[in-house]
Amino acid sequence: MKALPIGRELTSSHWGASEVIRDGGSGGHGGRAGGPARGLRPLPDDPDPSPIGAAMWDAYQSPLRVRRPAVRAGWLEAHGQGRRGPHTGRGREAFVEVSWDEAIELVAGELGRVIGEHGNEAVFGGSYGWSSAGRFHHAQSQVHRFLNSLGGYVRHVDSYSLGAGRVLLPHVVCTMDYLLGHHHSWDVLVASTRLMVSFGGVPAKNAQVGSGGASRHHTRGGLTRLAAAGCRFVNFSPVRDNLDAPDASVEWIPIRPNTDTAVMLALACETVLAGRHDRAFLASHCVGFERWHDYLTGRADGIVKNADWAAAIAQVPAQRLRDLAREMAQTRSLVNVAWALQRADHGEQAFWSGVGLAAVLGQIGLPGGGFALAYGPTNGIGSGDRLMGGPTLPQGRNPVDAFIPVARIADLLLSPGAEFDYNGKRHRYPDIRLVYWAGGNPFHHHQDLNRLARAWQKPDTVVVHEQVWNATARMADIVLPATSTLEREDIGHASRDPYLISMQPALAPPGQARDDFAIFADLAARLGRGEAFTEGRSANQWLRWMYEQAARGMTEAGVQMPSFEDFQAGGGVAFPVNDRPVVLLADFRADPLAHPLKTPSGRIELFSARIDSFGYADCPGHPAWFEPTEWLGSAQALRHPLHLISDQPHTKLHSQLDHSAVSLANKVAGREPVMMHPADAAVRGIADGDVVRLFNDRGACLAGARLSEDMRPGVVKLSTGAWWDPAWAAEGAQDPPAPADGAAPSPGPLDRHGNPNVLTRDAGASSLSQGCSAQSCLVQIERLAGEAPPMRAFEPPVFLARGG
């Protein structure tokens, strides 16, 4: 089978592949058949294109682009006087633009000094986020390769999206990376699934993105076809509209947030009590059911985890749970558990309970049955396209052993030398003197941003590569202007996508912006490590090398690939159609001895002896219910009576392109909208469109009220992604007024834009994973009295002349 040329000039982004529009017609390689590029349009064969991709065109030409290297004025003065951190002026001071030569000299000098005085364990290589759909100009790969060429760095492991799940699942069933590429394909679901019970919905807005691109969007159409085939959906969620199937096919059960684990345990318990559990499957494909059985039925602790027990916790009808357990056992059922559920206190338990419920039903490995973790988060999940390994840039070897779970960055900076638990071992935080960040926006995705801002003052130096003047750039000491996806040559690839795309520059870089590779090549040369970093290759030569390495593997997999020159001339290639259905764990189901899992037992572990041996009180050896630290059943709800959901936005990816026209059009009074039930608004005197203040003991932010009966009363939703906009005291901002109940004002500056992470809790999900627990968060809301302070998020910083 041959990969065929695409025949059009495409570019790839997280929101999808787009065709480049040029004067005189679209071009092939580099647009040679056309004139200057003037825009983007979605592919005609994409059934559900995202509007965000086209918005890149104007957003990447925004006045907010970083155009020249810039250094924070206070850091530059201190550096000239030989003074080092901490630096309390980060985020508050003006910048001085400098030449590239001076910027490279300053960065190289700081790297050399810190490594020479404190060792490589004093450097944190921060890169977290979807920095590029292109596989070469992927900032995380570039910065890690560069720092490895200098002798290593302190790294992070896991992700904010899946911190708890990534650590738990290899002990229990399989790795998360395996699941990402092997969920049942949509055609398998349409043919077989007749009941999908989803915890946290299947939001098509989230599935509009793919980490390496998304040439065809599947989720919305897949849900529609599922409903047409007769599948029913039961959606346990505080939000009605996060399962994008036809309304008549969806039963919404407005569950109390953070209680999904209790409901899953109850469904499993009711199945067992009624004798409907698949004893043969549990005996042949699972271990530990007997221990979990004792927990479910109350033999272990005297509490039967039945429908009545769960109904009191989750505030859902007990009889509906009993009926649903019977329905699931009598039809081909799929248990879908959203990623958001494991981004919570004891988040591991939601994933483990979902696997356990599916195991009790005995449908794992059958077409359309079992569990999913999950449909909805990204486009590739459920894709039936051919699974193809793609081009990758080798990052080299990191000789430094020290690491952190990704969501523990503030702990790392605030508590050098402190110990922490992770996956059965004790580790220690090193003393970080220099943070090097390329790709991602920590002042978007981290929790308790006021705490992070305090921690951020500790290092001597913070270096950032950025495209735009967002909060992370403003909080840096040295900002180096980086190019965007549309301004560089690359290769776009996602593992279950029909295209491998030759990406050619469509725009000229603004000002003096450079590719990350060019920046690191200069720095490596200045530090005497140029050959180690580049291996003598230019960017184009690396692309050729990466393509040829990947093409060799694709040819071995049965797909004949063209030469690199023909690949580029054809705009990339389309892979042959995959004619094999994708059924999760089908081989394991058919023969667990011939196809064992990579768990300690080779089977699904409903009781994990390994996890049990860790001795963690907050993560025992089987799925279990724990009360979250913050939830509507806690005493804290008396002061902060609303549960905050901070989901992914539908107008951007995390904080990327928050300044685009698509994102700005969704704002309310220029601020991110907060969704709330009309009843919650009425008791607070809030009307649709009002500017409101959300607050708790960690922080406060402003947002624009948007009322909807699609919310469960007592729950509000403020999507992530608004660029953090703190009203620093230096700008003349006053402390916010005390709330009506007389509590003290919230700590830290008021965020004027609506970033929920000034409110979320910066604590690990458990001792096992230390994952993000943002979804366990209580707040209060009040209507803002008086005039709202002006927004500053989309204004460039102040620049000073040298010595000014």
Cα separation, 205 vs 243, in Å, equals 10
- The answer to whether 132 and 489 are in contact (CB under 8 A) is no
Question: Which among 521, 460, 400, 458 is positioned nearest to 137, based on CA atoms?
Answer: 521
For 616, phi and psi rounded to 5 degrees?
A: -80, 120
Q: Find the helix packing angle between 539-556 and 516-526, rounded to 10°.
A: 120
For 471, phi and psi rounded to 5 degrees?
A: -65, -35
Strand partners, 71: 96, 478
Of these residues, 15, 128, 352, 723, which one is catalytic? 128
Query: What are the structure tokens assigned to 340, written together?
Result: 């958001």
Query: What are the structure tokens assigned to 273, written together?
Result: 């009590």
CB atoms inside a 10 Å sphere around CB 473: 24
Question: Which among 654, 755, 721, 545 is positioned nearest to 131, based on CA atoms?
Answer: 654
Annotate 737-766 with b (16+ C-beta within 10 A) or e (fewer): eebeeeeeebebbbbbbbbbbbbbbbbbbb
DSSP letters along 209-247, please? --TT--SS--HHHHHHHHHHTT-EEEEE-SBGGGB-S-G
For 620, phi and psi rounded to 5 degrees?
A: -80, -170
The residues near 731 (Cβ < 8 Å, ≥ 6 apart) are: 792
The kind and range of the H/E element at 311 are helix 307-314
Asked about 128 being catalytic, the answer comes back as yes
- The answer to whether 702 and 672 are in contact (CB under 8 A) is no
Strand partners, 716: 644, 676
Query: What are the structure tokens assigned to 696, written together?
Result: 């708790």
Q: What type of residue sits at position 62?
A: S
Asked about 130 being catalytic, the answer comes back as yes
Judged by DSSP in three states, 359 sits in helix
Query: What are the structure tokens assigned to 289, written together?
Result: 């059911």
What is the DSSP pairing of strand 715-718 with strand 700-707? unpaired
DSSP letters along 44-85, please? TT-SS--HHHHHHHHHTTSTTB--S-EEEHHHHHHHHTT---
The residues near 735 (Cβ < 8 Å, ≥ 6 apart) are: 745, 750
Query: What are the structure tokens assigned to 51, written together?
Result: 């509007």
Place of tokens 């790294």: 155
Cα separation, 7 vs 569, in Å, equals 8
DSSP letters along 562-593, please? --HHHHHHTTEEEPPPP-S---TTHHHHH-TT
Q: In what order do the strands lie in the sheet with 95-97?
A: 95-97, 70-72, 478-481, 461-466, 434-438, 123-126
Q: Please, where are the H alpha helices in 138-275?
A: 139-149, 163-172, 176-182, 186-192, 219-228, 260-273
Of these residues, 15, 57, 75, 130, which one is catalytic? 130
- The answer to whether 680 and 642 are in contact (CB under 8 A) is yes
Cα separation, 346 vs 406, in Å, equals 17
To 5 degrees, how large is the angle CA 276–CA 281–CA 284? 145
Cα separation, 757 vs 751, in Å, equals 10
Cα separation, 436 vs 113, in Å, equals 14
Active site residues per annotation: 128, 130
